[in-house]
Amino acid sequence: MTAPHGFSVSRYAPERGTLARLTARDSVVRRLDWPMLLSALALSGVGSLLVWSATRGRTELNNGDPYYFLFRHLLNTGIGLALMVGTIWLGHRTLRGAVPILYTVSIVLILAVLTPLGATINGAHAWIVVGGGFSLQPSEFVKITIILVMAVLLAAKVDAGDQIHPDHRTVAKALTLAALPMGIVMLMPDLGSVMVMAVIVLGVLLASGASNRWVLGLIGAGVLGAVLVTTLGMLDEYQINRFAAFANPDLDPAGVGYNTNQARIAIGSGGLLGAGLFKGSQTTGQFVPEQQTDFVFTVAGEELGFVGAGLILVLLGVILWRACRIARETTELYGTIVAAGIIAWFAFQSFENIGMTLGIMPVAGLPLPFVSYGGSSMFAVWVAIGLLQSIRVQRPMTA
């Protein structure tokens, strides 16, 4: 068996058995970032309980099987884990070569969403129904694609030692490549994902060492874009309502503000220790809409209290902390950029998701990484974990 390129196997060691190889001091398994992996697993585990609690009684969703969503979530986690292992196996460097293909496939998929193949779920036309009860949300994978395609471009000359920082041409090229899928996603319209992608691009640019002008320019463009979008009426009414309801939930208590308000009541009523799993009245009474997906954090808030909800924040913190270490400690800019992109993604998406349930961010249809129910999101974040692990595994031992 030939290890893929860059897979670190000591040439001078005698032949060892598989188990021995995996447990050896310099083995892949030993060099994995276990705190991050365990945190991600713990989040998925907690997520499965929360999703279960939120869907137990929703017979119109689970077809009478209270365990349906529990199993599906665990299954998604399993597939996610497999994807992570596969990603580590391939390695982020190997994926470099596959980026053009990945990029093309991503564009095709998101374009497909705009065709009659696409489906609208919760107001966002962002899905492709695969059949057999499965549906795919390509924008989740586009996030990875954007990270990879920008990283490949921006890091190429720097890692080759030709430049200290990526030049303007490269940056412009990278931004154009990122802008294309973002534009398509915007057309769906899946504004939440576009927001995340914009933050990813910002993170990537920062980590790439691109000139401050680009960074500031991007932020300026973002602000300008937001102003234009709102003033030119490019947004649908439901999107504006969602925004207004966050700013003032009392504005429309029976409509959009209802979500925010109910979410806040659910979390607020949790107190220190929560009502206990399955015991939250807001959850059992199904007062919070989309509670297994976008508003899954409210289940934690109500049933597990400050302690449980705080634990989710801590676990997310551990993942982000480890990711930051990986970004700082890898030897290549490529790895740094990929890690930074993932950090920006995870951090912003988590902040937006939890923030909206706490009433400090506008409501946007974004899943909470690892915790929310949803295959596409789960697969994407586990692939991201795989990428981070791969960057860590493949950097030289620092000891």
**Nearer of residues 78 and 271 to other proteins, judged by Cβ:** 271
Is residue 372 involved in binding other proteins (CB under 8 A)? no
- Residues 180-209: x/- map of binding to other proteins (CB under 8 A)? -----------------------x--xxxx
CB 352 within 8 A of CB 195: yes
Measured distance CA(181)–CA(145) in Å, rounded: 9
Q: What are phi and psi of 384, to 5 degrees?
A: -60, -40
Measured distance CA(133)–CA(68) in Å, rounded: 12
Measured distance CA(367)–CA(277) in Å, rounded: 21
Measured distance CA(395)–CA(70) in Å, rounded: 37
**Binding range to other proteins, per CB under 8 A, among 10-18, 67-75, 171-179, 259-267:** 259-267
Q: Supply the minimum distance, in Å, between the C-beta of residue 333 and other proteins.
A: 7
**Binding range to other proteins, per CB under 8 A, among 69-77, 116-124, 239-247, 315-323:** 315-323
Q: Which residues inside 130-189 make contact with other proteins, applying CB under 8 A?
A: 164-165
Residue from 152, 344, 380, 385 touching other proteins (CB under 8 A): that is: 344
- List of residues 6+ apart from 65 with CB closer than 8 A: none
- List of residues 6+ apart from 144 with CB closer than 8 A: 102, 380, 383, 384, 387
Residue from 52, 287, 370, 373 touching other proteins (CB under 8 A): that is: 287
**Nearer of residues 113 and 198 to other proteins, judged by Cβ:** 198
Is residue 370 involved in binding other proteins (CB under 8 A)? no
**Nearer of residues 138 and 270 to other proteins, judged by Cβ:** 270
Query: 189: cis peptide before it, omega within 30°?
Result: yes
Q: Which residues inside 55-114 make contact with other proteins, applying CB under 8 A?
A: 57
Query: Tokens representing 103?
Result: 């990029």
Q: Supply the minimum distance, in Å, between the C-beta of residue 47 and other proteins.
A: 17
CB 268 within 8 A of CB 22: no
**Binding range to other proteins, per CB under 8 A, among 85-93, 115-123, 240-248, 299-307:** 299-307
Provide the 3-class DSSP secondary structure of residue 129: strand
Q: Supply the minimum distance, in Å, between the C-beta of residue 65 and other proteins.
A: 18
DSSP conformational letter for 131: E
Residue 222's Cα: distance from chain center in Å?
20
Largest CA distance in the chain: 72
**Nearer of residues 59 and 230 to other proteins, judged by Cβ:** 59
- List of residues 6+ apart from 193 with CB closer than 8 A: 126, 139, 140, 142, 143, 185, 366
**Nearer of residues 189 and 305 to other proteins, judged by Cβ:** 305
- Compute, in degrees rounded to 10, the torsion defined by CA atoms 371, 374, 380, 385: 20
**Binding range to other proteins, per CB under 8 A, among 28-36, 92-100, 107-115, 331-339:** 331-339
What residue type is assigned to position 284 of the chain? T
Q: Supply the minimum distance, in Å, between the C-beta of residue 153 and other proteins.
A: 16
Residue from 336, 372, 376, 394 touching other proteins (CB under 8 A): that is: 336
For other proteins, the binding residues (CB under 8 A) are: 57, 164-165, 203, 206-209, 262, 264-272, 281-282, 284-287, 301-302, 305-306, 309-310, 313, 316-317, 320-321, 324, 327-331, 333, 336, 340, 343-344, 347-348, 350-351, 354-355, 358-360, 398
